[in-house]
């Protein structure tokens, strides 16, 4: 698709020379030449290396932990256990959740008992990682195993053993929307259907694992941390609280970050242990780089959950009311807070459908502790609402004999419905669900495919088409409400921009520079973005929640606009013109309509710093402006995905034929980056639906501990994506909306619906994943065995 121009009313003050264009990325020259600086690339004088001894038992009592022999190995500096690392003074709460939220019991290393396979029990610090791993072989660790709690539903029963003896039950938290009379309403509707959808455990799996280098300077009492993370400021504040070190004596840097997808939003046990170990050792940098097995068993898990959905519908397929009951497996030590995304799932559960207005949709979400790796945020952590709802629409449509596209058309809201208040009382102002639904249907050739499908079925071939549509929230409350930008024009007239956020792949060095260049009126190449350094950049929440597109960009607009006013005031003074008559473009301030009346930005900068007596009265010297942008409580983007598949009846293999995404993220800062974000999310969903599964055995042992067992999609499994863009500008600066998570939220249901549609003639029902060939074959065979096979 061609990219539509920026919508009127949302142009930056300067000319839109860069915004809206697929500008090549500023980050790339260092990254394609191997000159990136990831945390493992840091090699400091005196650096020592940490390695963890971990539990191989899911639940049990530590009966013996003897590290004496390991401590004696030459090259080993220290072997620390809970006795040295843990402290009752540690506090573990994250800023986003606050001190009063529900948390798992706080502990760094296992103390007395173990609660999941992979839980760190001791940390070894040695002159090399090889030596540290040698020393681990010398640690004696005996654990008396207990029966683990592994099933999230059973975990919530009163009879269940508890994962955390400190807590009364395995309920980590609850979110509910209780609607009086809803059950009666559901019962009395013309049709009521109930289905349970399950999702299996799959994970963020950034290509760069977690890692940290921590140095304690005992003479200045300062902590210096470089780590792979999503927010240097949260890391700094967290350790200031946890260890009682003044925030101003902690410096956190993130450098290049090799992906995260939610996993690195908050520091966890291993990072805590390394920081504390570095403090105990003092003066020497301690490095820990997670290996892949550690990342898979202890880096944070996601997606294992179930949602039972009851839907009331009339004879015409109009959705009347619904309720959902979601249970999330949050593992033993989830982050953040109680590990739940159920509150967000509750908010978004009605999706882009009308229902019967407020009071027609109810919800209960529960988090269940289990003796497994803790849950962590993963790209659209609340996506079960879309995964279940969009499958349910297809299930109901089939039962009513209505085509799933038609069923959606009868219920979906459109731009004409704006503003729209959802059953959960959220207000949509600028979403376009119906428009993306129609565009996706058109791009994929929906009606034509139905004809092909019918013909293929007569030939015995199993073709299917799946749709999924959703609204993606960006939250703007609490710590998430703001981001900040400092724009500093240097004495030469070149521009440094300090952003409170930090990219782990989102291209912010490029997109924020596009915004500042246009808003200010300078060349893109004259702008540099500085990020990911707690000492240099303003405080902020970091990347996450698809907030950078709207909120960090909002701050960049605001700071650049304020700077522009100041530059124009000085420029007008130098040109002896009224400020209303001057403009800046390409780094030159000129008087509109007066040829030759111009002054370069470099001259304005020189005056502002070096010849301040020439400044206009009342204007402060220097060119440095900071603005903190406060976002609305909620912002929303939306999309529809449409996919066609063919299922091989003999092998169970699913081939994706075409994949179309029609999305509305408002004005696009950089269409290439927008499409890249969508593609990444969609292919992660392809992995989740068909290949990836972190399986635990009946003893609570993870059985996918390498990439030979945990199967990521490769280029041969990834479909060619096709994109459509509907542009409904938001009401925030620039008219942008966040979209980084949507691909991963919307795609699973589309893929599942396509397979469901392909297998419909065989009477197959799908409620579990991943749809590996053996599972698909089993579904087909089971359906045949129950002689629903036509």
Partner 1 sequence: MSPTKIDVELVVNGQPRRATVEARKTLADTLREDLGLTGTHLACEHGVCGACTVLVDGAAVRSCLMFAVQAAQSTVTTVEGLSSSAGDLSPVQRAFRECHGLQCGFCTPGFIVSVTAFLEENPDPTDEEIRAGISGNLCRCTGYQGIVRAVKRAAELRAPEDSEGVTA
Give residues in contact with partner 1 (CB under 8 A): 22, 24-25, 27-29, 31-36, 38, 40-41, 43, 74-75, 130, 205-209, 256-259, 261, 291-292, 504-507, 672-673, 675-676, 679-684, 706-708, 712, 714-716, 718, 720-721, 743
Contacts of 787 (CB under 8 A, 6+ apart): none
- The pair of three-digit structure tokens given for residue 102, joined into one six-digit string: 């529900």
DSSP 763: T
CB of 522 to partner 1, least distance (A): 22
222, β-bridge pairs: 217
Which of 318, 718 has the CB closer to partner 1?
Answer: 718
Assess contact for 529 and 508: CB atoms under 8 A.
yes
CB of 252 to partner 1, least distance (A): 19
DSSP 487-555: EEE-TTS-EEEEESS--SSS-HHHHHHHHHHHHHT--GGGEEEE-SBTTTS-----S-TT-IIIIIHHH
Which of 309, 679 has the CB closer to partner 1?
Answer: 679
CB of 167 to partner 1, least distance (A): 35
d(CA 271, CA 286): 11
CB atoms within 10 A of CB 580: 9
Assess contact for 286 and 48: CB atoms under 8 A.
yes
Which of 129, 167 has the CB closer to partner 1?
Answer: 129
CB of 44 to partner 1, least distance (A): 12
Give, for 664, the enclosing helix (H) or strand (E).
strand 654-664
Which of 208, 385 has the CB closer to partner 1?
Answer: 208
d(CA 660, CA 720): 9
Which of 619, 711 has the CB closer to partner 1?
Answer: 711
d(CA 137, CA 73): 11
Assess contact for 59 and 146: CB atoms under 8 A.
yes
DSSP 706-723: STTTS----TTTPPPEEE
| Beta strand extents in 291-410 (DSSP E only) | 305-313, 319-331, 361-369
CB of 556 to partner 1, least distance (A): 20
CB of 705 to partner 1, least distance (A): 10
Which of 261, 288 has the CB closer to partner 1?
Answer: 261
CB of 674 to partner 1, least distance (A): 10
Which of 579, 718 has the CB closer to partner 1?
Answer: 718
d(CA 673, CA 639): 16
CB of 577 to partner 1, least distance (A): 42
CB of 637 to partner 1, least distance (A): 18
CB of 740 to partner 1, least distance (A): 10
- The pair of three-digit structure tokens given for residue 763, joined into one six-digit string: 């009477």
| Peptide bond connecting 336 to the previous residue in cis, omega within 30 degrees of 0 | yes
Contacts of 398 (CB under 8 A, 6+ apart): 404, 760
Output helix, strand, coil percentages for the chain, rounded to the nearest 5. Answer: 30, 25, 45
How big is the CA angle at 485 (ends 520 and 672), to the nearest 5 degrees?
70
Pairing of strands 495-499, 527-530: parallel
Which of 619, 672 has the CB closer to partner 1?
Answer: 672
Which of 19, 762 has the CB closer to partner 1?
Answer: 19
DSSP 81-123: EHHHH--TT-----TTT-TTS--PPP-SS--SEE-STT-EEEE
CB of 131 to partner 1, least distance (A): 9
Which of 416, 715 has the CB closer to partner 1?
Answer: 715
d(CA 761, CA 764): 8
* SS3 state of residue 197: strand
Which of 291, 406 has the CB closer to partner 1?
Answer: 291
CB of 518 to partner 1, least distance (A): 20
Which of 681, 735 has the CB closer to partner 1?
Answer: 681
């Amino acid at each position: 698709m061609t990219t539509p121009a920026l919508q009127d009313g949302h142009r930056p003050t300067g000319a839109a020379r860069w915004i809206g264009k697929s500008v090549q990325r500023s980050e790339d020259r260092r990254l394609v030449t191997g000159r990136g600086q990831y945390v493992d690339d840091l090699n400091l004088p005196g650096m020592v290396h940490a390695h963890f001894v971990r539990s191989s038992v899911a639940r049990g009592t530590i009966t013996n932990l003897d590290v004496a022999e390991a401590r004696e190995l030459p090259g080993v500096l220290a072997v620390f256990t809970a006795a040295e690392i843990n402290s009752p003074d540690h506090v573990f709460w994250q800023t986003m959740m606050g001190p009063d939220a529900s948390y798992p019991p706080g502990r760094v290393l296992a103390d007395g008992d173990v609660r999941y396979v992979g839980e760190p029990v001791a940390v070894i610090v040695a002159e090399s990682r090889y030596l540290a791993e040698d020393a681990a072989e010398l640690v004696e660790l005996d654990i008396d195993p207990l029966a683990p709690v592994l099933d999230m539903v059973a975990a919530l029963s009163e009879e269940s053993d508890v994962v955390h003896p400190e807590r009364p039950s395995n309920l980590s938290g609850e979110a509910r929307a209780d609607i009086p009379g809803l059950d009666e309403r559901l019962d009395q509707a013309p049709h009521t259907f109930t289905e349970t959808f399950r999702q299996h455990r799959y994970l963020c799996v950034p290509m760069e694992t977690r890692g940290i280098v921590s140095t304690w300077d005992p003479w200045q009492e300062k902590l210096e941390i470089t780590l792979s993370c999503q927010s240097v400021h949260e890391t700094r504040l967290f350790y200031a609280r946890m260890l009682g070190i003044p925030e101003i004596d902690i410096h956190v840097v993130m450098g290049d970050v090799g992906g995260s997808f939610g996993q690195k939003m908050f520091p966890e046990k291993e990072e805590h242990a390394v920081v504390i170990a570095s403090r105990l050792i003092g003066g020497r940098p301690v490095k820990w780089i997670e290996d892949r097995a550690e990342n898979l068993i202890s880096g944070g898990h996601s997606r294992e959950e179930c949602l039972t959905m009851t839907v009331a519908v009339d004879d015409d397929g109009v959705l009347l009311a619904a309720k959902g009951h979601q249970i999330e497996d949050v593992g033993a030590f989830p982050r953040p807070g109680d590990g739940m995304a159920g509150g967000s799932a509750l908010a978004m559960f009605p999706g882009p459908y009308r229902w019967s207005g407020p009071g027609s949709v109810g919800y209960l979400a529960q988090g269940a502790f289990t003796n497994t790796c803790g849950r962590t945020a993963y790209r659209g952590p609340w996506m079960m609402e879309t995964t279940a709802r969009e499958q349910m629409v297809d299930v109901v449509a089939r039962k009513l004999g209505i085509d799933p596209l038609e069923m959606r058309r009868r219920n979906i809201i459109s731009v004409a419905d704006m503003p729209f208040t959802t059953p959960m009382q959220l207000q949509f102002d600028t979403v376009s669900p119906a428009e993306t639904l129609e565009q996706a249907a058109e791009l994929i050739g929906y009606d034509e495919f139905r004809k092909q499908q019918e013909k293929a079925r007569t030939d015995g071939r199993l073709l299917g088409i799946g749709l999924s549509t959703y609204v993606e929230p960006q939250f703007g409350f609490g710590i998430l409400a703001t981001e900040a930008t400092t724009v500093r024009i240097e004495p030469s007239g070149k521009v440094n921009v300090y952003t409170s956020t930090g990219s782990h792949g989102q291209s912010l060095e490029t997109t924020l520079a596009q915004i500042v260049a246009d808003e200010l009126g300078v060349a893109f190449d004259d702008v540099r973005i500085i990020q990911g350094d707690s000492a240099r950049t303003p405080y902020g929440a970091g990347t996450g929640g698809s907030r950078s597109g709207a909120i960090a960009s909002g701050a960049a607009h605001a700071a650049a606009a304020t700077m522009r006013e100041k530059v124009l005031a000085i420029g007008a003074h130098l040109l002896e013109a009224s400020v209303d008559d001057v403009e800046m473009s390409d780094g030159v301030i000129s008087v509109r309509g007066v040829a030759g009346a111009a002054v370069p930005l470099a001259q304005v900068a020189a005056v502002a710093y070096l010849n301040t007596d020439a400044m206009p009265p009342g204007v402060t010297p220097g060119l440095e402006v900071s603005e903190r942008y406060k976002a609305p409580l909620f912002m929303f983007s939306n999309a529809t995905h449409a996919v066609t598949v063919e299922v091989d009846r003999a092998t169970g293999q699913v081939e994706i034929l075409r994949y179309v995404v029609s999305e509305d993220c408002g004005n696009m800062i950089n269409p290439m980056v927008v499409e890249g974000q969508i593609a990444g999310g969609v292919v992660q969903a392809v992995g989740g639906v068909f290949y990836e599964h972190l399986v635990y055995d009946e003893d609570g042992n993870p059985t996918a501990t390498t990439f030979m067992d945990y199967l990521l999609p490769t280029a041969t499994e990834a479909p060619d994506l096709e994109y459509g863009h509907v542009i409904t500008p938001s009401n925030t600066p620039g008219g942008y909306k966040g979209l980084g998570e949507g691909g991963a939220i919307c795609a699973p249901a589309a893929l599942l619906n396509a397979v469901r549609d392909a297998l419909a003639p065989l009477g197959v029902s799908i409620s579990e994943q991943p749809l590996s060939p053996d599972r698909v074959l089993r579904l087909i065979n089971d359906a045949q065995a129950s002689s629903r096979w036509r």
